[in-house]
């Protein structure tokens, strides 16, 4: 494996120093259980046949069937997908879900595809991995540049292959195709619950707290919208094309409406009216947004956004990770040395997989919950696990990320231990020899 995965699992070394686990646990968590690379042939609208590279990695299934999204992005690689599946393993354990971790993806720029080509790609990918997924084995979900519609196509394709309805094979589906209410906003909502718990401990007043959000996709948008409703002042937002900054505050809903209408970011003045005027804005690069002097920097874009190269220029007083792996291990150490707390991805962005779990449960039961119930259950889990991790960090005097990994490792190690470890079997052999 190359850099991303090596960096991802390097976090375990510090955790192993803070939690007693057997060699069996160490060995199991250093390697993925299954890594699949597939060719995905697609007939394009002009008649050409293109073959895309696809992947599905199941990292660990000690605690249950594996769970993890599918992303469509030009930079998808086996190394990246393996890293993401590792983080999903930790994240599911952090949230206390009965899952292991997995991830999948196709190396493609979906913006270059027509909708018909996108549907063919989605269905072809599921045909390629159908033998290794299923409600009791591995349950995919949306990720970067995939959405509910794509999940609906994929679930339908799997059902056609199996010749029966199997709604629990994939989560994040449209509500009318057995999806769960509350799933679309779940990642952003869960991140806000975590931030609110942190704000209470740090005595942060939302109306006096400035927030910059890198990444204005589904998770970043819903977080920013809900955070603004809770009173936080959103002063900067970015997407893949660039960033905007306004100290007046940005009306998130109006800004998203403008983006969808005009395909550009433009800061709309925060106000209570149904139509808002444009705010005075600065146009920034993504890198410049990262270095703004704000109270909370929200990373909701891609991995490796803060590295050793720019960590020293980060002026935010705390960081909230909604993307997977946006801060690498070296940058983590530099930020910790400067006293900048990082609310880690494996806790902060777990809202999506928590509500995906709810969808899976509802699909299997054939009984569906109201949105208020979904959101309440999400809040219970997110706040409970955040509080436990914050207290563990204080107790052990470790970073929030290390505390989250300790919590996850304790749960994974417990499941591995109950199946038998070297110590268990050696103890049995020693006792048997003593009897003779």
d(CA 254, CA 226): 14
d(CA 278, CA 225): 18
Burial of 428 (0-12, 13-18, 19+ CB in 10 A): exposed
d(CA 400, CA 347): 9
DSSP codes of every residue in 48-104: -EEEEEEEEEEEE-TTSSEEEEEEEETT--HHHHHHHHHHHHHHHHHTT-S-EEEEE
Contacts of 127 (CB under 8 A, 6+ apart): 157, 161
Distance of alpha carbon 165 from its chain centroid, rounded? 28
Q: Are 60 and 29 in contact (CB under 8 A)?
A: yes
Q: Are 104 and 70 in contact (CB under 8 A)?
A: yes
Tokens at 86, concatenated: 């590792």
d(CA 152, CA 172): 8
Distance of alpha carbon 217 from its chain centroid, rounded? 13
d(CA 18, CA 418): 21
Q: Are 15 and 84 in contact (CB under 8 A)?
A: no
Paired sense of beta strands 233-239 and 66-73, if any: unpaired
Tokens at 262, concatenated: 């005009």
Hey, which residues are catalytic here?
103
Q: Integer distance in angstroms from the first to the last C-alpha of the chain?
A: 47
| Nearest in space to 119 (alpha carbons), one of 67, 162, 156, 78 | 156
Which phi and psi (to 5°) does residue 268 adopt? Answer: -105, 135
Burial of 130 (0-12, 13-18, 19+ CB in 10 A): middle
d(CA 101, CA 76): 17
């Amino acid at each position: 494996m190359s850099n991303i995965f090596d960096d991802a699992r390097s976090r375990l070394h510090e955790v192993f120093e803070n939690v007693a686990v057997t060699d069996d646990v160490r060995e199991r968590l250093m390697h993925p259980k299954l890594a699949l690379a597939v060719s995905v042939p697609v007939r394009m609208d002009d008649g050409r046949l293109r073959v895309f590279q696809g992947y599905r990695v199941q990292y660990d299934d000690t605690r249950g069937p594996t769970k993890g999204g599918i992303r469509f992005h030009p930079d998808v690689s086996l190394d990246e997908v393996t890293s993401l599946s590792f983080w999903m393993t930790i994240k599911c354990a952090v949230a206390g879900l009965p899952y292991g971790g997995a991830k999948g993806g196709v190396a493609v720029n979906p913006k270059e595809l027509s909708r018909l080509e996108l549907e063919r790609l989605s269905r072809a990918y599921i045909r390629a991995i159908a033998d290794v997924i299923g409600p009791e084995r591995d349950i995919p979900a949306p990720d970067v540049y995939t959405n509910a519609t794509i999940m609906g196509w994929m679930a339908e394709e799997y059902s056609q292959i199996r010749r029966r309805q199997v709604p629990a094979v994939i989560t994040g589906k449209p509500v009318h195709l057995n999806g769960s209410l509350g799933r679309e906003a779940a990642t952003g909502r869960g991140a806000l619950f975590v931030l609110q718990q942190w704000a209470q401990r740090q005595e942060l007043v939302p109306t006096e707290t400035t927030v910059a959000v890198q990444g204005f996709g589904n998770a970043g948008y819903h977080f920013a919208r809900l955070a603004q409703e809770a009173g936080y002042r959103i002063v900067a937002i970015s997407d893949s094309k660039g960033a905007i900054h306004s100290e007046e505050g940005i009306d998130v809903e109006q800004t998203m409406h403008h983006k969808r209408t005009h395909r550009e970011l433009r800061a709309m003045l925060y106000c209570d009216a149904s139509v808002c005027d444009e705010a005075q804005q600065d146009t920034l690069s993504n890198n410049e947004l990262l270095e703004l002097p704000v109270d909370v920097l929200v990373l909701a874009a891609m991995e490796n956004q803060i590295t050793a190269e720019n960590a020293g220029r980060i002026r935010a007083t705390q960081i909230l990770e909604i993307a997977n792996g946006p801060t690498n291990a070296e940058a983590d150490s530099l930020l910790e040395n400067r006293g900048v707390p990082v609310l880690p991805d494996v806790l902060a962005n777990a809202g999506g997989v928590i509500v995906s779990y709810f969808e899976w449960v509802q699909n299997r039961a054939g009984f569906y919950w109201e949105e208020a119930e979904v959101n309440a259950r999400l809040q219970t889990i997110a706040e409970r696990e955040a509080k436990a991790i914050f207290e563990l960090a204080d107790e052990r005097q470790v970073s929030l990320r290390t505390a989250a990994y300790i919590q996850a490792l304790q749960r994974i190690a417990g499941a591995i231990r109950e199946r038998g470890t070297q110590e268990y079997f050696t103890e049995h052999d020693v006792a048997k020899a003593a009897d003779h």
